[in-house]
Structure 1
Amino acid sequence: MPDTSSSTTVTPLPSLAAQAEHLIELGVPELAGIPADQLRAFAAEAGSHDGDALLAVHPDRAPASALAPLLRHDGKPGFVVTDMPDVDCFDPYTVEVPDAPLYLVTDVDRGDHMANWSPEEALPALAQQDRTPLLITEGIHWVLQRPAVLERNHCFMTIGSRLRKANGALDARTPAIWISNGTGRDGHERRNAPKVGWCWWGNRHTWLGFASATGRSHS
Structure 2
Amino acid sequence: MRAELTEIPAVLSAATEFEHQVETLIAKGYAWTAGLTDEQFRALVAPLAAHVAELPGPPALPEAPGEPPRPIPFVLVVDRTLVAPMRAAEQIERRGRRAIVTMLTAEDLDAFTPIESVTPPAGGAYLLLDVDLGWSTRNDPPARALPLLEAQGRSPLTLEEGIALVTHQPEAVATNAGFSLLGSRRGDRRVTAMWISRGSPKLGWCFAGAPHTWLGSASCGGRVGLA
Asked if TM exceeds 0.5, the reply is yes
Specify the alignment match of 1:58 in structure 2. Answer: 79
List per-residue Cα deviations over 1:52-105 (Å, max 9, x = no partner).
Answer: 221111123222211111111232111210x22212210011210112111111
1:175 maps to 2:192: yes
SS at match of 2:90: helix
CA contact (8 A) 2:48 2:126 kept: no
List per-residue Cα deviations over 1:2-36 (Å, max 9, x = no partner).
Answer: xxxxxxxxx98762121101100111111223442
Specify the alignment match of 2:67 in structure 1. Answer: none
Specify the alignment match of 2:89 in structure 1. Answer: 68
TM-score between both structures, scaled by the size of structure 2: 0.79
Specify the alignment match of 2:138 in structure 1. Answer: 115
1:84 maps to 2:104: yes
For structure 1, the 5+ residue unaligned runs are: 1-10, 164-169, 181-190
Amino acid at match of 2:223: R
Specify the alignment match of 1:22 in structure 2. Answer: 24
SS at match of 1:20: helix
Q: 1:96 aligns with which of 119, 130, 143?
A: 119
Question: Aligned partners of 2:214 and 2:40: how far apart in 1?
Answer: 38
CA contact (8 A) 2:179 2:193 kept: yes
Specify the alignment match of 1:31 in structure 2. Answer: 33
1:145 maps to 2:145: no
CA contact (8 A) 1:174 1:199 kept: yes
CA contact (8 A) 1:16 1:43 kept: no
TM-score between both structures, scaled by the size of structure 1: 0.81
Distance 1:103 1:38, change over 3 A: farther
Specify the alignment match of 1:183 in structure 2. Answer: none
Alignment RMSD = 1.9
Displacement of 1:211:
0.8
Specify the alignment match of 2:220 in structure 1. Answer: 213
Question: Aligned partners of 2:77 and 2:36: how far apart in 1?
Answer: 12
Equivalent pairs counted in the alignment come to: 192
CA contact (8 A) 2:99 2:202 kept: yes
Question: Aligned partners of 1:111 and 1:34: how far apart in 2?
Answer: 35
For structure 2, the 5+ residue unaligned runs are: 1-7, 58-72
Distance 1:35 1:102, change over 3 A: farther
Displacement of 1:197:
0.2
